[in-house]
């Protein structure tokens, strides 16, 4: 037990280090600009006074390490500064939308994970059958489709007939059931995009194991193929499966950007796209930090879970 806590602690420290590096990159990216950020943002026609005012507002007059320290300590307390475009505190802008984005990602995950794991196990069970080949070809096709293509095909077939709304309007009074109904199409889009990859990896992980001697032993004992896969193969394939699920959930976090724009979903992705076109650097930095942190956390969780699922991984050097 002690060993496990030590492992988790070590991974957490590594995760924190990664987050620190990420915050350095996100902050340092603004330093890459050869000229002056204020002039770049305001354009060539800006007067000296407005440039000086913007520099003062962004704190560009301080040396970089001081600015980084101020930014990081404020961000850790939930204060991301003020948006340049709307003059509102970024924490207010982000707050409600973060919940919506998380809701959409969780919704898609709740649809995608069971479906793709079941399909993956079935494809492994009936490998080289028509079902396996068809689902494989479909998965390869789905991986190659741009998200907005999938989204608009769904809109054409499911929203145009009035079955589901093609735009999502969430207000404070929206009930949970209604929210589920309204965000069904974006969630379905994300599900289609991520489950192909999860299904293929689940199938590959299980088929890899089916060649091992202990599976043959189980077969020779006269077990049914389904029981062989579920009882013997899946528990040992958990580590790669957990990893690929986490990787795809992390992908969901960024995949929401395009899908949110298609369905006018009031989430972080939409806010980020608006901020990029307005060149509202403070907002972009804040959202990038949130997305990157979620990405790192999910990978960390996958790492810990897959290590727990296979005790042999605990003692590797």
Among 4, 12, 106, 140, binds other proteins (CB under 8 A): 140
Within positions 190 to 249, which residues make up the interface with other proteins, using CB under 8 A? none
Q: In sequence order, what are the residues at sequence separation of 6 or more whose Cβ sits closer than 8 angstroms to the Cβ of residue 291?
A: 253, 254, 268
Which residues touch 174 (CB under 8 Å, ≥6 apart)?
A: 182
Decide if residue 13 touches other proteins (CB under 8 A): no
User: Which residue number, 109 or 253, has a Cβ lying nearer to other proteins?
Assistant: 253
Give the tokens for residue 31: 């330093």
Handedness of CA 86, 90, 95, 101 (dihedral sign): positive
Task: With both helix axes pointing from N to C terminus, report the angle between 234-262 and 147-154 in degrees, rounded to the nearest 10.
Answer: 70
Interface characters, 19-48, with other proteins (x: CB under 8 A) = --xx-xxx--xx-xx---x--x--------
Assess 265 for contact with other proteins (CB under 8 A). Answer: no
CB of 283 to other proteins, least distance (A): 9
Helices and strands of the chain, counted as H and E runs: 14, 0
Indicate the SS3 state at residue 225.
Answer: helix
Distance (Å, rounded) from C-alpha 89 to C-alpha 122?
Answer: 50
Q: Which is nearer to other proteins, 69 or 157 (CB)?
A: 157
What is the footprint of other proteins within residues 266-305 (CB under 8 A)? 272-273, 275-277, 279-281, 284-285, 287-288, 291-292, 295-296
Q: Which helix (H) or strand (E) holds 22?
A: helix 2-28
Q: Report the nearest approach of other proteins to the CB of residue 243 (Å).
A: 16
Q: Does residue 264 touch other proteins according to CB under 8 A?
A: no
Q: Give the range of 59-67, 108-116, 117-125, 252-260 binding other proteins by CB under 8 A.
A: 252-260
Q: How far apart, in whole angstroms, are the C-alpha atoms of residue 69 and residue 4?
A: 34
Contact 64, 71 (CB under 8 A): no
Taking the least distance from each CB to other proteins, the nearer of 85 and 218 is 85
Quickly count: other Cβ atoms within 10 Å of residue 185's Cβ.
24
SS3 of residue 314 by DSSP? helix
Q: Is 101 in the site for other proteins (CB under 8 A)?
A: no
Q: Is 148 in the site for other proteins (CB under 8 A)?
A: yes
SS3 (DSSP) at 93: helix
Question: Residue 129: how many CA atoms within 13 Å on its side-chain side?
Answer: 8
Report, in Å, the least distance between residue 286 CB and other proteins: 11
- How many residues lie near other proteins (CB under 8 A)? 55
Beta-carbon contacts of 47 under 8 Å, excluding residues fewer than 6 positions away, are: none
The residue among 15 and 240 lying less far from other proteins, judged by its C-beta, is 15
Instruction: Select 18 or 309, whichever has its Cβ closest to other proteins.
Output: 18
Residues that bind other proteins (CB under 8 A): 18, 21-22, 24-26, 29-30, 32-33, 37, 40, 128, 137, 140-141, 143-149, 152-153, 155-157, 159-160, 166, 250-251, 253-254, 257-258, 261-262, 272-273, 275-277, 279-281, 284-285, 287-288, 291-292, 295-296
């Amino acid at each position: 037990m002690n060993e496990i806590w030590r492992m988790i602690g070590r991974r957490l420290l590594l995760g924190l280090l990664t987050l620190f590096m990420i915050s350095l990159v996100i902050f340092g990216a603004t330093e890459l600009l050869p000229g002056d950020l204020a002039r770049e943002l305001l354009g060539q026609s800006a007067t000296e006074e407005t440039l000086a005012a913007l520099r003062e507002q962004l704190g560009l007059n301080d040396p970089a390490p001081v600015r980084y320290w101020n930014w990081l300590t404020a961000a850790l307390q939930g204060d991301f500064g003020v948006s340049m475009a709307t003059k509102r505190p970024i924490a207010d802008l982000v707050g409600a939308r973060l919940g919506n984005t998380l809701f959409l990602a969780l919704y898609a995950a709740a649809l995608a994970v069971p479906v793709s794991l079941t399909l993956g196990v079935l494809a492994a069970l009936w490998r080289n059958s028509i079902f396996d080949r068809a689902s494989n070809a479909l998965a390869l096709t789905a991986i190659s489709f741009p998200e907005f293509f999938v989204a608009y095909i769904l809109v054409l077939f499911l929203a145009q007939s009035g079955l589901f709304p093609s735009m999502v309007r969430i207000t404070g009074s929206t009930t949970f059931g209604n929210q589920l109904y309204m965000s069904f199409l974006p969630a379905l889009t994300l599900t289609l995009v991520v489950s192909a990859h999860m299904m293929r990896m689940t199938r590959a992980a299980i088929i890899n194991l089916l060649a091992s001697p202990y599976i043959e032993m189980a077969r020779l004992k006269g077990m049914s193929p389904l029981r062989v896969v579920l009882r013997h193969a899946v528990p040992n394939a958990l580590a790669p499966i957990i990893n690929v699920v986490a990787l795809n959930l992390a992908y969901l976090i960024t995949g929401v950007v395009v899908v949110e724009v298609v369905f006018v979903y009031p989430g972080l992705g939409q806010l980020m796209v608006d901020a990029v076109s307005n060149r509202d650097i403070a907002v972009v930095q804040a959202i990038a930090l949130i997305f990157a942190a979620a990405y790192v956390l999910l990978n960390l969780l996958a790492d810990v879970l897959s290590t727990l699922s296979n005790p042999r991984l605990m003692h590797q050097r």
